[in-house]
Structure 1
Amino acid sequence: MTILSGLRLRAAALLAGLSLALTGCFMSPGKFTSELAITGPDSFTFRYDGEIFFLGLSKLAQIGAAAEEKFTPETCTNDETFEERECTEEELAKQRADWDAGAEERAAKAREQAKQMAAIMGGIDPSDPKAADELVKLLQRQKGWERVVHKGDGVFDVSFRATGTMGHDFLFPMIEGFPAINPFVQVFLRKGGQVRVNAPGFATQSNDAGGMGAMMGMGSLAGLAALGAQESGDDPEGAALKGIPQMEGTFTIRAAPGMRILANNTDEGPQGGTTTGETLTWTISPRTAQAPTALIAAGGN
């Protein structure tokens, strides 16, 4: 097995476990455009047009769930050199016996995880063939979701619009019945009329020396999408990784005339001026390792 194939298999197994764990429904952007406009000291508009990938509704999660039900021998190694070797018949028999002994425990765990995932997905069972249609209906009845189309394999094409006052914090996406742990964009209000904007969903996490890096947090799916783009094999795990859409798009912040951008991490800094309002733009790709962030003096209280 090549190093890359090993990474792919480990990635699929890990994500399958994450999709069933009580850590939330993992989501990631695909191709998109998004804009936050701070239109006044107490008003804003936000839009997101493009793809959102839901891990729990993808083939990758289904492959992982199936893998939990299939016996796969563990790798045997030489006690002195720690190099891989073929397992003896006795070792394989012992592994199989241990696997069979844990069958009931695995089944009970799977049933509990399925209940937990349905509970945090607004009552939607990810294993239900109609789960994607149910999610479409759930989003369509929420204000702001103007278009929701399931493209297949957990990828949805959406158009979201929101207009509101700056009297409260703002997160996107917020889905009824879902935990708010995968925000693409966060807007936090500070005293003194300052607005802090973070976009943790528009960045990947750096890989470690082993190529996998930290697999927790919002950036992990985008990182796996980049890994999947490198795959050339036709095995199910590789195909599922390729099914994760590549994160590619732009995120723009517009500040109304008279407001000041106090800090940001764009490459070029604010564009425009005091009479037209300043603009920040980030070009997002699988190579974006740093989440967009900005601090704006919007005025008001």
Structure 2
Amino acid sequence: MASKVLYLMLAFVAAVSAAPNTRLVGGEHTTIEQFPYIVALVYYYPRPAIRVQRCVGSLISSWHVVTSGYCFTGAILDNMEIRAGSTNALSGGTVVRVGQVTKYPGYVEEPKSGDLAVIRLATALGISNTVNVLFLPPQNTFIPDGTSLTTVSWGFEYVGGPQLETLKTITQRKINIERCKAIYSGSTKVDISDRVICANEVGRSTCFGDSGAPMVIGQVLVGTASYHEGCGDDDHPDVFTRIDTYTNWIMQVATAPGRSGSEAKIAPVQF
């Protein structure tokens, strides 16, 4: 009987950790000192009283996190917390509560589009060597096809594998948007438009649990993980929300309590 209960518990953990979707396949392990802007969105499930790393986000100010709108599907905000400053998703660092969530007003869950949200933390984070911010790209920044793009996150290395707590990073290359549209033609799951970045690399992709994971060029946030077709599916590129098409909106909503100006900063993207 005890073994049956344990089996059911493990099955529950596997189920909740796989939703919402996307986690990293392939890549290398890294540390928070290399990517101090990343945070884990940790969700508490009252029954059976466990915490699971549900999604990923990027600090753009001491008050604000950019992530996926999908992360809040069916979520109770009081059950969510943000862990910053730790290589591990479920231990260490600093934990703060969610103060407010603003989803992009045009967000559509299926076919997925406008997959973006800004979290305002309940309390501001202090900047250190393990907690820092990413810059936003200027509105409508051009990123050439073939550009090398880095994504960092926590998660499974393969479908059905154990959930990892430590950070990993992968590098992919941006592919032509028209080619991406052709690959996903007929899909009812995701809308491929000029407001997404499609990227791939053999043996490297997002998988279950990485929604909102940052895609960066240097210290600039250029994308957030939004959709994948299978884990490690080399025939289908990963789809990321293209941040530079939302920069103006992010700047409008990323304001600290009692202030009218944005706390986020814009920086040019260097190729």
Fold match (TM-score > 0.5): no
Bigger radius of gyration, 1 or 2?
Answer: 1
What TM-score results when the alignment is normalised by the length of structure 1? 0.21
